[in-house]
């Protein structure tokens, strides 16, 4: 526990979420250091933030910050280069590419783990797991040319679910180490025009791993030194994430755990219960959390908790594991990235169980100030300090889950006063997979995105925006997500959300159908009320951004809005981004033809030339482009301007009067047709 000291910041300036503000105050009073304390003391390196610092060899690090414009009468200084002669463009491009590499590696490695589990389940070697979505399994089988039947004529019969899954698993796992060819989803699922564009540009990914390895090699000292060429491989790597690893993991998780459908839940720290054993599930891979959910419901476990003095076991999610549990089981969400320390500071968390991605190392120090057990479960993600490691093993997952829950129950009597749980939580309606959206728009028989397209063409819905990404302690927590989303809604732009952005929306009450009347323009409000959906659609975790790609593709294939994703009146944003995964996600959206604006900062501003290429030049090649806007409302207006530009190009920029034809008008039309 840190020594008590006067704080230099007002908690109300750090977050727009009242529960967060309350817990920061509690931390300050107790002298417990949080990420906001560290941010207040440590300013970001301006040269590193611009991507203008090269440290890929020991001759540096070499700093090549932009040259200030000379005053009148002074000689203009030359742009510095690295010791090897690397220009600012090369250095900045390499750093950007390595961020894409890191993000793509995180998603693709997540995906590989899910694929390996899927194979074990298919062979009956993972007790407790089973294939829950047979329909999606068969769709995947068709994508990978896995036959659903065997034999011919009178001998033709359906293949078993297990046999189909076994063959499918082998084909999917091959794609991670594949050296040649094309990734199945990238070559089959996007609009035909997009596929042809990628092939012509030479950016169609060959496999999940090879693109990452090649890009890391290219950005090694003395290899690729031309920023256009670096970015070309960067694009191929990003596509291998969005249309490869991320899409594979999303689909296989749906097959194993069920494709999400609308479900209600609650969000924010107020979901914790003082009289229950509270377990926070934190991370990004739903494999073990699914079993912890099962274990926590078992009568023997509940009785064990009651024997320790608790009324029961309360699971709550944190970060993207929260999104996975919420949208499949209605398990409440305690908060997003910047709230992970604060959950422990309530004093009510008996165990925090973490797997991979976005876990702060400081959790160990915060947990030490309270009674919380911090339990790591993945061999790739250990945390130094007083932690407990219980490694996940898919062959004994339910036993491991029970062990974890019992550890939390045993810790319940060790709580230290005072416990303070903010009395703040909000209802949510989540679980909008692209399949669910299609069903809601047209039913199971005639489900189609045409209804959405028709409302866009008719002007009720102006366009579609994806608002995704992280929290960043350099930006007031949740503020940019909410300001941007509300500006889009009042201008009749429907918003699709994932990750921490989805949780920010939930904590503001935007994930309920009632939000449409309060926040939306008249056209979007009418559509939401008619269909019975929220104006902000929760589509899952950060790896589930692939659902947004599929929804965009479905819009194209429904007709009326062009022949490619780049034709759609759509835009994307990550107003509070902070991780390498966000850069990879952003670039696979740009590579798919989407205008994508980030907030806070951008890691390439150390080179005006390279940044201009990302922000302008890429649109000519890929149909999508990057942008940076610090003000989230102005960023939303840029997105709306882009949407309007696309509407004009489609010829739907003017509202069309809807005419209800009576019988006489129909006869006139038929008569006119017969005269021809």
What's the pLDDT tens digit per position in 308-353? 999 999 999 999 999 999 999 999 999 999 999 999 999 999 999 9
**Residue 376 CB neighbours (<10 A):** 24
Kindly state the average pLDDT of the residues 149-176: 94
* Helix, coil or strand: residue 189: coil
Query: 578 pLDDT exceeds 80?
Result: yes
Confidence of residue 664 (pLDDT cuts 50, 70, 90): low
So what's the pLDDT on residue 674? 41
Phi, psi of 155 (to 5 degrees): -90, 0
Confidence of residue 676 (pLDDT cuts 50, 70, 90): very low
CA gap 281, 157 in Å, rounded = 43
Kindly state the average pLDDT of the residues 363-369: 95
Confidence of residue 67 (pLDDT cuts 50, 70, 90): confident
Can the peptide bond before residue 418 be classed as cis, meaning omega within 30 degrees of 0?
yes
Query: 635 pLDDT exceeds 90?
Result: yes
The rounded mean pLDDT for the chain is 93
So what's the pLDDT on residue 446? 56
Beta strands in 337-424 (DSSP E): 349-354, 373-376, 388-389
So what's the pLDDT on residue 668? 54
Query: 416 pLDDT exceeds 90?
Result: no
How far is residue 353 from each of residues 41, 107, 283, 320, 395, measured CA to CA in Å? 29, 20, 8, 13, 19
CA gap 418, 179 in Å, rounded = 58
Query: 70 pLDDT exceeds 80?
Result: no
Asked if residues 476 and 565 have their Cβ atoms less than 8 Å apart, the reply is no
How far is residue 642 from each of residues 303, 550, 593, 632, measured CA to CA in Å? 57, 21, 12, 15
So what's the pLDDT on residue 655? 57
- pLDDT, one tens digit per residue, over 282-317 is 999 999 999 999 999 999 999 999 999 999 999 999
CA gap 645, 586 in Å, rounded = 21
Kindly state the average pLDDT of the residues 451-458: 93
* Helix, coil or strand: residue 500: helix
- Give me the residues paired with residue 496 across strands: 466, 537
Can the peptide bond before residue 664 be classed as cis, meaning omega within 30 degrees of 0?
no
So what's the pLDDT on residue 125? 97
- pLDDT, one tens digit per residue, over 468-498 is 999 999 999 999 999 999 999 999 999 999 9
Confidence of residue 663 (pLDDT cuts 50, 70, 90): low
Kindly state the average pLDDT of the residues 510-523: 96
So what's the pLDDT on residue 661? 45
So what's the pLDDT on residue 378? 95
Please report, rounded to a whole number, the percentage of residues in the chain having pLDDT higher than 70: 95
Kindly state the average pLDDT of the residues 196-218: 98
Closest CA to 412 of 291, 311, 281: 311
Kindly state the average pLDDT of the residues 7-16: 88
- Give me the residues paired with residue 563 across strands: none
Phi, psi of 86 (to 5 degrees): -60, 130
Residue 531 buriedness (CB in 10 A; 0-12 / 13-18 / 19+): middle
Provide CB contacts within 8 A for 547, sequence distance 6+: 250, 433, 434, 498, 539, 540
Beta strands in 157-228 (DSSP E): 157-158
Phi, psi of 160 (to 5 degrees): -70, 155
CA gap 653, 496 in Å, rounded = 22
Kindly state the average pLDDT of the residues 557-578: 96
* Helix, coil or strand: residue 429: strand
CA gap 66, 68 in Å, rounded = 6
Cα of 245 vs its chain's centroid, Å: 13
Asked if residues 535 and 519 have their Cβ atoms less than 8 Å apart, the reply is yes
CA gap 464, 41 in Å, rounded = 40
Confidence of residue 441 (pLDDT cuts 50, 70, 90): confident
Lowest mean per-residue pLDDT among 376-380, 612-616, 669-673:
669-673
**Residue 85 CB neighbours (<10 A):** 9
Phi, psi of 443 (to 5 degrees): 85, 170
């Amino acid at each position: 526990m840190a020594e008590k000291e006067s704080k230099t910041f007002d908690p109300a300036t750090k977050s727009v979420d009242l529960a967060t503000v309350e817990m920061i105050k509690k931390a300050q009073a107790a002298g417990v250091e949080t990420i906001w304390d560290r941010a207040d003391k440590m300013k970001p390196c301006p040269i590193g933030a611009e991507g203008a610092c090269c440290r890929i060899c020991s001759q540096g690090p070499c700093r090549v910050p932009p040259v200030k414009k000379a005053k009148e009468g002074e000689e203009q200084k030359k742009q510095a280069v690295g010791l090897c002669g690397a220009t600012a463009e090369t250095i900045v491009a390499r750093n950007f590419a390595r961020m894409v590499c890191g993000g793509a590696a995180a998603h693709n490695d997540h995906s590989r783990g899910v694929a390996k589990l899927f194979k074990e389940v298919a062979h009956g070697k993972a007790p407790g797991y089973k294939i829950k979505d047979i329909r999606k399994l068969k769709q995947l089988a068709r994508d990978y040319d896995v036959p659903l039947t065997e034999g011919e004529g009178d001998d033709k019969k359906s293949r078993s679910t297990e046999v189909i899954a076994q063959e499918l698993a082998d084909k999917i796992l091959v794609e991670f180490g594949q050296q040649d060819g094309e990734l199945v989803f990238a070559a089959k699922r996007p609009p035909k025009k997009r596929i042809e564009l990628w092939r012509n540009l030479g950016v169609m990914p060959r496999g999940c791993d090879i693109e990452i390895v090649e890009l890391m090699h290219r950005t090694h000292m003395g290899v690729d030194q031309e920023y256009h060429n670096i970015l070309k491989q960067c694009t191929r790597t990003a596509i291998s994430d969005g249309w490869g690893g991320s899409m594979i993991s999303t689909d296989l998780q749906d097959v194993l755990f069920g494709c999400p459908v609308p479900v209600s839940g609650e969000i924010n720290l107020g979901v914790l219960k003082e009289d229950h054993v509270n377990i926070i599930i934190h991370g990004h891979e739903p494999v073990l959390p699914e079993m912890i959910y099962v274990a926590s419901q078992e009568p023997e476990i509940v009785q064990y908790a009651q024997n320790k003095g608790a009324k029961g076991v309360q699971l709550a999610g944190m970060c993207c594991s929260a999104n996975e549990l919420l949208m499949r089981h209605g398990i409440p969400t305690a908060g997003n990235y910047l709230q992970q320390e604060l959950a422990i500071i309530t004093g009510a968390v008996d165990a925090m169980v973490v797997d991979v991605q976005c876990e702060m190392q400081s959790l160990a120090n915060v947990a030490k100030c309270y009674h919380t057990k911090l339990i790591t479960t993945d061999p790739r993600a250990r945390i130094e300090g007083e932690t407990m490691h219980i490694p996940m093993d898919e062959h004994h997952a339910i036993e491991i889950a029970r062990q974890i829950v019992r550890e939390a129950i045993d810790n319940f009597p060790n709580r230290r006063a005072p416990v303070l749980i903010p009395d703040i939580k909000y209802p949510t309606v989540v679980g909008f997979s692209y399949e669910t959206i299609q069903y809601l728009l047209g039913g199971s028989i005639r489900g189609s995105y045409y209804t959405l397209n028709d409302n866009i063409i008719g002007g009720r819905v102006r366009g579609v925006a994806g608002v995704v990404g992280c929290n960043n302690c350099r930006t007031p927590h949740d503020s940019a997500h909410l300001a941007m989303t509300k500006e889009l809604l009042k201008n009749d732009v429907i918003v699709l959300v994932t990750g921490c952005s989805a949780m920010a929306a939930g904590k503001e009450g935007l994930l309920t159908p009632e939000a449409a009347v309060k926040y939306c323009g008249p056209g979007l409000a009418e559509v939401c009320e008619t269909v019975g959906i929220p104006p902000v659609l929760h589509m899952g975790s950060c790896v589930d951004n692939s659902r947004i790609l599929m929804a965009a593709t479905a819009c194209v294939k429904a007709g009326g809005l062009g022949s490619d994703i780049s034709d759609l009146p759509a835009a994307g944003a990550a107003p509070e981004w902070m991780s390498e995964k966000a850069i990879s996600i952003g670039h696979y959206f740009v590579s798919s033809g989407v205008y994508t604006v980030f907030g806070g900062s951008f890691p390439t501003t150390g080179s005006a030339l390279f940044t201009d290429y990302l922000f302008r030049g890429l649109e000519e090649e890929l149909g999508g482009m990057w942008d940076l806007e610090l003000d989230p409302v102005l960023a939303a207006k840029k997105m709306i301007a882009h949407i309007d530009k696309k509407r004009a190009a489609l010829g739907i920029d003017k509202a069309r009067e809807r005419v209800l034809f009576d019988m006489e008008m129909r006869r006139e039309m038929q008569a006119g047709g017969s005269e021809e």
